[in-house]
A and B are shown apart, each in its own frame.
Chain A
Amino acid sequence: MSTLATTQPRFTTGIYHGKLGMWVFLASEIMFFSGFFGAFIVLRNLNIEVFTASAHMLDKTVATINTAVLITSSLTMALAHLALERGEQSKFRLFLFITILCAFGFLGIKSYEYATKFGHHIYPWTNTFFATYFTMTGFHALHVIGGIIPMIWMLGKSLVKGYPQEMHHRVEVLGLYWHFVDLVWIFLFPTLYLIF
């Protein structure tokens, strides 16, 4: 019965506690990233030539591919939750596995981008554009890692004894976090790569 108490929508909020908790966290995350975007806009307006020249050094093609990879992982995450809600264990495992693969794919492509920049002797301290670029994408990458860890734990658990269908709420809440990570990238991509 303890599971029921936390996974049923509550009268006062209309949603279950776990979901409310995640949304409270995501609300704080929106404000966390707002600070970066605010700083980016102010620094850009003060150093427009530096920002334009530096942004043109970024690889748009690779970033576009990475955007598609992250969007795909969002789809498979949503499908994984849907599968578990219906008790389809093997589909759940498959979709969760693809989500993890895409997440690692994203990090791999991001590492390649970083390595290319370091190869050209471009570092966070090169100029204000790259300082904000590395800070924003770096914190985003940390969020990706933060999503991969519970995903692997869930996949491991489902491989050992099957993930309990009645705990599909946990997957939904992790999905909320994962879609948010996708959302942040949706704003980072045009801001850093496209508007210059």
Chain B
Amino acid sequence: MTSGMSFQEIQKSYFKVFIALLVLTALTVAVTTIHFGDVANIVIGVFIALAKAGLVAYIFMHLKFDNKRLRYFVGVPVFFFVTLVLTLTMLGL
């Protein structure tokens, strides 16, 4: 299940992800104080959220360690979600 990684390595990766999530949270709040333009600020916010989501799914939710086929399975609803959000956002621009 944990594909060759030792307990210490996994624990270390959990703490690294935790620190990264806190840093990205601070970053996403910090960038709102700078005005890059309405669209740019939304794009930055979405990309930071996607990066955080990727870390959580990949490490905390074990997608990195599980059978690769699970990623395709999870990818289907994620694809629909991203397509919906992008389409509706672009329709409103």
Contacts and interface: CB of A to CB of B under 8 A. Distances in A.
Contact of A31 (B1, B21, B62, B81): B81
Contacts of B69: 13-14
Contacts of B21: 71, 74
A21 B74 CA distance: 12
A170 interface: no
A117 interface: no
A183 B70 contact: no
B76 A27 contact: yes
B49 A74 contact: no
Contacts of A183: 53, 56-57
A14 B49 CA distance: 29
A37 B1 CA distance: 34
Interface in A5-43: 9, 13-15, 19, 23, 26-28, 30-31, 33-34, 37-38, 41-42
B34 interface: no
Contact of A37 (B48, B59, B85): B85
A27 B10 contact: no
Nearest to A172: B62
A15 B70 contact: yes
Given A19-B66, A64-B25, A186-B49, A34 B15 contact: no
A74 B56 contact: yes
A109 interface: no
Contacts of A126: none
A195 B69 CA distance: 35
Contacts of B85: 34, 37-38, 41
Contacts of B22: 68, 71
B18 A71 contact: yes
Interface string B37-51: 000011001101100
Interface of B: 1, 7, 10-11, 14-15, 17-18, 21-22, 25, 28-29, 32, 41-42, 45-46, 48-49, 52-53, 56-57, 59-62, 66-70, 73-74, 76-78, 80-81, 84-85, 88-89, 91-92
Given A77-B60, A79-B14, A186-B49, 19 more contacts: A14-B69, A14-B70, A15-B70, A23-B74, A28-B77, A30-B78, A38-B85, A71-B25, A74-B18, A74-B21, A74-B60, A75-B17, A79-B11, A82-B10, A82-B14, A179-B56, A179-B57, A183-B56, A186-B53
